[in-house]
Structure 1
Amino acid sequence: MINLTSLMEFRNFMVALPQSNKLIEEKAIERNSKLTKPNGSLGHLEEIAIWYASWSGTTKPKLDAPQVAIFAGNHGIAAHPGVSAFPAEVTQQMVLNFKAGGAAINQLSKTFGAKMDVYPLDLDKPTSDFTKSFAMTESELLKSLQAGWDAVDPSADLFVAGEMGIGNTTSASAIAAALYGGGAKAWVGRGTGIDDRGLQLKRQVVDAGLLFHKDILMDPLVVLQALGGREIAAMVGAIASARARSIPVLLDGFICSAAAAVLHKINPKALDHVQAGHVSAEGAHAQILKRLEKNPLLALDLRLGEGSGATLAIGVLKGSLACLSGMATFSEAQVSQS
């Protein structure tokens, strides 16, 4: 565990990241080649099982203690007309729904045996309007990074980050545009379901934020501070924290992937412990996954957030591990091998 008192501490961690176990990876590849199936016949399942094994430290891994963490934050830019189809108070209302067990993510977490935790982050204090100032002070950014870092359960064997925050697709779009270029038109989608007029207004807000901060967007952490939200910063901290503990991570949708992009820009190896749980219906999500070089496990046109797509993908990951760990080899089953 680290205690973040400055952004330099976080930067220093990002320089020397823990690595996967290459010996275990080689042994998992060897074991996979001997299982009673044509080599490669399980497609991407084989790759993700070997990837997971390399982080778990065993050639016969099991997934018994997945953790889903939902981070919630409010955004100053949500006050702009058209940014969201829902009012800002919905964030707090949904947090209460999560805690009461009534949301989609509650049902999915329960179905796949995941522990689910909810972290509301200063909901009574929205971030500042990023078209006029930094969204967060450095102190607020550090506090959010630390909240995400501390949220990761050291006993978890998989981590899924989810989010809730009215206006956060606008923030995520601004982050993606700042990191990769292309302006608002390339990255802004309909989010919670805004109409054409709302989409135009949302793009104007993002372009205004990019213009206001145009001279200070060379540093990914500055991008996060200037344009991000507390829940997005917390996901950045959580994904990094999982890396410190060698816990594999499944990314959720566009907003979670924008958080991951901050880490990827700091260090291109920062997401080696990460797989993309799904690709969502938010148009820019596929673009950002391509930049991160992540192939999604699922494509179901989801656009809910909450960690829902990544939590569904736990089932796919469990299936892949069951095959790698439980299948017999040709010699064990006394099956002839070509």
Structure 2
Amino acid sequence: MSIDDSMNAGAGAGAGATSMETNTHDLFGLEGCPQRINRSLSLNLTDHTYLPKAKDPRRDWVASVALPALRSYAAVHGESSVDTFATIGTGAGTDVLAAIETLNPSTALVTDLHEEVVEHAVDNIRRNVPDSSMHTVEGYVGHLGEPLTAHSGTIDLLYENLPNIPAPTHVDLAAGQATSSFFDTSALAGVPAGAHRYLLALHCAMLNQARTLLSPSGRVVCSIGARAPLTEILDVLNSTGFDTELLGYTWKIQSEPEEVIGGYVDQERKGGGPFHFYPVDALARVLSPYSPQQAAGQAKKIEQDLAGSAFDVDTAFEAVKRGDPVGHTVVAVQAAPVD
């Protein structure tokens, strides 16, 4: 289902919406002023929208992961390398704003499972760039890349930050922000066995679909919480028939920690993993000397340096129940289909 690109600006502030005003510099942790998006962001959100962590960028996926990954992509391929950018499960649309700031695509495609999330995201993007006529924004509703087949062209860069945890029976995927952490396992044909063990199934399903969506030089950037060993993550992604390369390696504080870490505990009990987390002070100490792009080149060494501080899932779960912050590393993986 497509959301018409001619939707009036401001229409996103409908019934049930909440609003957020935040300083772009603070949310994205920019070193200077933004060049292509507004200095202050005005965002309309719904109950289903994954909330930007405006007061703590280290907990926010776009600020701590997507923006550095897109910067790395621009450094490798050039700031003019992407004409059409697409994002899967956009939330508030701040991932597209990050892409506009770094890569300036002329067309942006956003998807989400919830129609109202897409409506608000499209509106948020248009209202938070100085000249909305410079960017065509199209919104699509549906699962993974399926709705993007309605787009008339191909995609140069597809960004995904998908949930990892299969939804247990007690989780209602239609409620609140459940689809930010959990997913329906009913559409995972062709996913390699290792993807299920290490909770990478949805990422692999997206890569399988991406082949028919990308331009000849198109690529996918997979943003993945690295709670499994780095070699296992890359091996699983490579098994889908894509060449992979690390664009970024960084860390973030675990958001919704009891819910998410509890999900990893359950999956390990069922034979998944093993998985690991880290104390926040260890992550900060080991990774602070590196930018995400620099850390990508040292990722295996950094993982080894962190090993002595790692929490297993039970220890991590006990830590968050005590109120101690727990984090994890994150990889931004560039994936190009093998001919």
Using the size of structure 2 for normalisation, the TM-score is: 0.28
User: Which has the greater radius of gyration?
Assistant: 1
More helix, by proportion: 1
